[in-house]
Amino acid sequence: MRQFLLKGAMATLLAAALATGAAAQTKTEIELFFPVPVDGKLARDMTTMIKEFNEKHPDIVATPVYTGSYDETLIKTRAAIKAGKPPAAVIMSANFLTDLVIEGEIAAFDDLIQASGKTNDQFMAQFFPALHANAIVDRKVYGVPFHNSTPLLYYNVDHFREAGLDPDNPPKNWQELIAAAKKLTKREGDRVTRWGIMAPSNYDYGGWILQALVMSNGGRWFNEEYGGEVYYDTPSMLGAMTFWSDLVHKHKVHPAGEQKGPGVSTSFLSGQSAMMLLSTGSLTHIRDNAKFPYKVAFVPMNVRNAVPIGGASLVQPKGLDEAKRKAGWTLITWMTAPEKSGWWSRATGYFAPNKGAYELAEMKEFLAKNPDARIAIEQLAYAKPWFATYKTVAVRKAIEDELQAVLSGKKQPKEAVAAAQKAADEILRPYVEQTALKLPATN
């Protein structure tokens, strides 16, 4: 009898083990590629978010994979696609979508949106309108806004008071910015001990800040309707480049040469810079580490208030099997719903792209305690699309190379914008010629 019972118990345990194994095999395993392009603890925050997702979705196992900068994430995603192992979701720089669509590397979400019972317009209506142009290409939805940003002017309140400036009345235009930066810059002989203003000019960041200056100077960076045209050799670009150059070489209120984003924030936090132009994505890092009172304001304008949208959207590469694609979509919609969109905003400093996040009690309470987080939302009224073209990275680098040469004193702005236009046109030429062949014949 004992042997019989023992055999029965073993059979039961074996059956349970087999059932557990079968259940485990039904789980869909997916990867999420994510970059950390700004300051702070984003990697830890992402781990926390995905852990919660896995707990709430026992049929899916999502693994976050840190992929470096935005540019590095693009490279690694393309490598994974070529290797036949695409991730089910990627937090991709929003301005890369046009190029990814042109190259046929990402899938539209239209069928998944329709399966959820919504039209594309209904689905996108949950996100701020300023984000739509960097998520929709040829009327198809290729990106779901996840974390987004605009540039901001950060400034040290104590430094303002010390210089006789009103911290409740920050510079609103370029002339006021120059005047304030002159008063804020401190020197001991020939050595600068505090810069009046700093801005990042490294690859990716520099182009974004330069676009903000071009737009606030009344100009356009690119053709928003066509991926083969940029406007580098224009009066508005020349004016923006000259303004930045003058901060360095004429007014001597900004350090010369390439400035990297982390170095700019470090200088601000250490008191070596009184003002800086930096992403809203750095807000939490500044808030957590500043040992002094600070405030943020709109990017000062010349002709108009205008800033480019920045940040990232969630995309899906082509080549996924149906199970992984659906599991990836489940992750994407969960991450971009109001509750998690708001949580991510509070954790990181990016503004929440889902408008519904701001209707939640916890978000209202957060904004009441942290009014600096309101400025990016208010600036959305003046936000425009981030530059997005064929071969975006190379086309962007064409102007960034010239910007860095100007800030280093190796070139004059007029020479630089002409060289950038020539280089960009050459990069864009294959796409321009390809699309020209598709134009209808004319008599």
Q: Tell me: do 27 and 123 sit in the same domain.
A: yes
Q: Tell me: do 263 and 330 sit in the same domain.
A: no
**3-class SS string, 330-361:** HHHHHHCCHHHHHHHHHHHCCECCEHHHHHCH
Q: Tell me: do 171 and 106 sit in the same domain.
A: no
pLDDT of residue 38: 56
Q: Tell me: do 122 and 268 sit in the same domain.
A: no
Q: Tell me: do 263 and 199 sit in the same domain.
A: yes
Cβ atoms of 340 and 362 closer than 8 Å: no
Domain of 423: which CATH number? 3.40.190.10
Residues 323-343 have pLDDT tens digits of 999 999 999 999 999 999 999
Residues 145-204 have pLDDT tens digits of 999 999 999 999 999 999 999 999 999 999 999 999 999 999 999 899 999 999 999 999
Residues in CB range of 351: below 8 A, 6 or more apart: 148, 149, 150, 280, 345, 373, 376, 377, 380
Number of domains in the chain: 2
pLDDT of residue 10: 46
What letter represents residue 239's amino acid? G
Q: Tell me: do 396 and 377 sit in the same domain.
A: no
Q: Tell me: do 304 and 320 sit in the same domain.
A: no
Residue 230 carries which DSSP code? Answer: B
Cβ atoms of 349 and 285 closer than 8 Å: yes
What is the distance between the alpha carbons of residues 403 and 258, in angstroms, rounded to a whole number?
A: 9
Annotate 374-423 with DSSP letters as a single string. HHHHHHGGGEEPPP--TTHHHHHHHHHHHHHHHHTTSS-HHHHHHHHHHH
Strands 89-93 and 275-279: unpaired
> Domain of 116?
2-148+311-381
Q: Tell me: do 400 and 421 sit in the same domain.
A: yes
Q: How far is CA 381 from CA 129, 309, 375, in A?
A: 9, 11, 11
Nearest residue to 347 (alpha-carbon basis) of 70, 67, 64, 42: 42
Give the residues of the chain that fall short of pLDDT 70: 1-25, 37-40, 438-443
181-217 exposure pattern, b = at least 16 Cβ within 10 A, e = fewer: bebbbbeeeeebebbbbbbbbbbbbbbbbbbbbbbbb
Tokens matching residue 59: 């049929």
Q: Tell me: do 267 and 404 sit in the same domain.
A: yes
Cβ atoms of 271 and 194 closer than 8 Å: yes
- pTM for the model stands at 0.90
